[in-house]
A = this chain, B = another copy of it.
Amino acid sequence: MATIRQLLGAAAPVCVSCRDCALKPICLPAHLPGDEARALEAAVERGRHLPAGATLLRAGEPMSALFVVRSGSAKRYSVTLDGAEQVHGFVLPGEAVGLEGFAGGHFTCEVSTLEPLSYCRVPMSKLEQLMERLPGLRREILRLLGQALEESQRLRGELAQSDARGRVAHFLADLSQRLARRGLSPNEFRLSMSRADIARHLGLTLETVSRALGTFKREGWLRVRARDISVLRPDALAALGGLPA
C-alpha cells in the first residue's frame, strides 16, 4: 500500500479544506449538505503525521477526538490477557478510527501505523456541539457506527463459516474492493501488513496464510511476490470469499 501513500498522500500533501481533499467522495463530509460540511470543516484539525510503526491511539485512553485516516494505513488490535495480539482490522484512507470509543468514552483498542500515515482529527467536544445543531451530521455519525457494526458482524460470520482459503480470499477481495472505492487499482497493490498480522486477523497461523496464498498462486488466481499482489481472477477470489461481484 505504498501506492496509497503516494497517490492520496504525496499528491495532496497539505489540504486546507475538505473541499479540496482527494478523499472527498469517501470521507465523513461526503453525505452532508453543503452548509453542514462547511461547519464540520471548521472543526477539523488537519495535517497530522506519524511515521511507520507509531501508535495512533491506545486502549484505555479517553476518547478525545474522532480520527480519520488521510493517507497510509494502520492496524487495529488489542492485546489479550495472555499477551497475544488480536488484530481487529486494517484502516485505509477515508476510514474513521476508534468508533468503539462511543461505548464508554475511551478507546478500547490500539491503533498503530503500518506505514507513514497522515490523519485528521475532530475533537469530541466540538463534535458534540456540532451534532446538537446539524441533523445531517448526526445521521452520518450513526450511519458510520451502523456500518462498522454491520461490517464487524459480516466478518464474524465469515470467520465462523469459512476455512483458511475462504478467509484469505475474503481478506484479499475485501481489500481489493476497498482500494477500488478509493480510486486505486484493485488488482495491483502492496500489502502494508505482515503475514502474521493477516493471520492474527483471520484466526489462522502465518504458515496457513502463506500456504493459502501459495495455492491461489498455483491456481493462477494471483501473482505474489513478497507483499506485492497482482489479482488475476478477482471473480474467483470474491466468490470463494463470499463477497458479491
Chain A residues proximal to chain B, CB less than 8 Å: 78, 80-81, 84, 86, 88, 99-104, 108-109, 128, 131-132, 135, 138-139, 141-143, 145-150, 152-153, 155-157, 159-161, 200-203, 242
Contact = CB atoms under 8 A, between A and B. Distances in A.
Contact of A149 (B84, B99, B131): B99
Contacts of A103: 143, 146-147, 149-150
Where chain A touches its partner, the secondary structure class is: helix
Contacts of A203: 159-161
Q: Closest 9 CB pairs between A and B?
A: A160-B203, A102-B146, A103-B146, A86-B157, A145-B145, A152-B152, A103-B147, A100-B150, A102-B142
A146 B101 contact: yes
Given A81-B242, A149-B145, A149-B152, A200 B160 contact: yes
Nearest to A101: B146
27 contacts: A84-B161, A86-B157, A86-B160, A88-B153, A88-B156, A88-B157, A100-B153, A101-B146, A102-B143, A103-B143, A103-B147, A103-B150, A104-B143, A104-B147, A108-B150, A128-B135, A128-B139, A141-B142, A142-B142, A148-B149, A149-B149, A152-B152, A152-B153, A152-B156, A156-B156, A159-B160, A160-B201
Nearest to A202: B160
A143 B160 CA distance: 27
A3 to B, nearest CB: 28
A142 to B, nearest CB: 4
Contacts of A143: 102-104
A187 B149 CA distance: 30
Contacts of A128: 135, 139
Contacts of A80: 157, 161, 242
Contacts of A160: 86, 159, 200-203
